[in-house]
Amino acid sequence: MMTIRELIESGTKKLEAARIGEAQTHCEFIAAFVLNKSRTYVRAFGQNIVYDKERAMFDDILKEKLAGRPLAHITGSAEFMGRIFDISQTVLIPRPETEELVEQAIKKISVPPRSVLDICTGSGCIAISLAFLFKSAKIVSADISKEALKVALRNAQNLNIANRIEFIESDMFDKLGGTFDFIISNPPYIPEEIISTLSPEVQCEPHIALCGGKDGLSVIKRLISSAPKYLNPGGLLALEIGCAQAEKVVKFFKDVKWQKPQIGKDISGTDRFVFARRK
Ligand SMILES: C[S@@+](CC[C@H](N)C(=O)[O-])C[C@H]1O[C@@H](n2cnc3c(N)ncnc32)[C@H](O)[C@@H]1O
């Protein structure tokens, strides 16, 4: 017989021994998934007993985690800005930095936008979160990947917000029309040759969601050069970028239509976001 707390503690030790970061958090998520409860529940009711079947399931998931499979792929879901999103191997697993991108961007918006474009939408986590925040805005969610868009649509349906969002398969702006008050994107920005050096977990994610070409900047550069045509005067572009890319990215805002871009830092103090307003 084992309690939830003992189960989490034993799993945490195994993950720590394998030098997997945030071991306890991962184990709390696994326990919550296995018990079909929230993470808050497993923390609050650690004294409750787990059945052998649940323990066996916990151990199986832990083995997959130890083998380098992302938890979001094992459970098929991930949390973003307080909501649960379906995740498959066709989309990037939403990251905490991207939550910061959304939070910092909305602080820069004084008048609610009438139209929002989330370009490179993946699971739809940004577009959907913004649809909940800006209740009267028209939201467009675009991605080059048909498979990613299917996941984004499913997420919008699960969260009962699909009627507020238009999903468009498009290579950058190719299939997009009209203009927007706010364009936001977490584009692929990892340099191609770095990808094979990243953790096995990251390498489970779609190449197209990670790879920003030779220098990591090819998608960002295209985005910045086309965006003025799709932004309304005074409209905001908010981008997530890779660490050490800020200086180069800022130089892409050559068009006279841009006001001076601003760099934003993530919680670890890394330059991670660029915000620019169209004149
Ligand atoms: C880093 S992921 C971001 C996913 C999601 N927005 C998030 O933050 O979790 C980048 C996404 O860009 C898409 N993508 C890559 N190249 C693209 C292109 N040329 N045009 C549109 N989307 C593209 C990928 O399919 C992927 O879904």
What's the pLDDT tens digit per position in 59-87? Answer: 999 999 999 899 999 999 998 998 999 99
Domain-embedded: residue 267: yes
Of 78, 83, 92, 162, the closest CA to residue 121 belongs to 92
Inform me whether the pLDDT recorded for 1 exceeds 90: no
Rounded percentage of the chain residues whose pLDDT exceeds 70: 100
Q: Is the CB of 212 under 6 A from ligand 1?
A: no
Domain-embedded: residue 76: no
Q: What is the pLDDT of residues 235-279, one digit of tens each?
A: 999 999 999 999 999 999 999 999 999 999 999 999 999 999 999
Inform me whether the pLDDT recorded for 39 exceeds 90: no
Q: Is the CB of 172 under 6 A from ligand 1?
A: yes
79 CA distance to ligand 1 middle (Å): 18
For residues 149 and 145, what is the distance between their CA atoms, to the nearest angstrom?
6
Mean pLDDT of 91-107: 97
DSSP symbol at 278:
B
Do 270 and 232 lie in one domain? The reply is: yes
Number of domains in the chain: 2
Q: Is the CB of 240 under 6 A from ligand 1?
A: no
Inform me whether the pLDDT recorded for 225 exceeds 90: yes
pLDDT recorded at residue 38: 87
Q: What is the number of alpha carbons within 13 Å of residue 236 lying toward its C-beta?
A: 22
pTM over the 0.75 mark: yes
C-alpha radius of gyration, the chain, whole number: 20
Mean pLDDT of 117-141: 98
Mean pLDDT of the chain: 96
Candidates 101, 139, 143, 184: which one to mutate for ligand 1, based on the most atoms within 8 Å of Cβ?
143
Q: Which domain holds residue 42?
A: 2-67
What's the CATH number where 208 sits? 3.40.50.150
> With b meaning 16 or more CB within 10 Å and e meaning fewer, what string describes 161-186?
bbebbebbeeebbeebeebbbbbbbb
77 CA distance to ligand 1 middle (Å): 18
Q: Is the CB of 86 under 6 A from ligand 1?
A: no
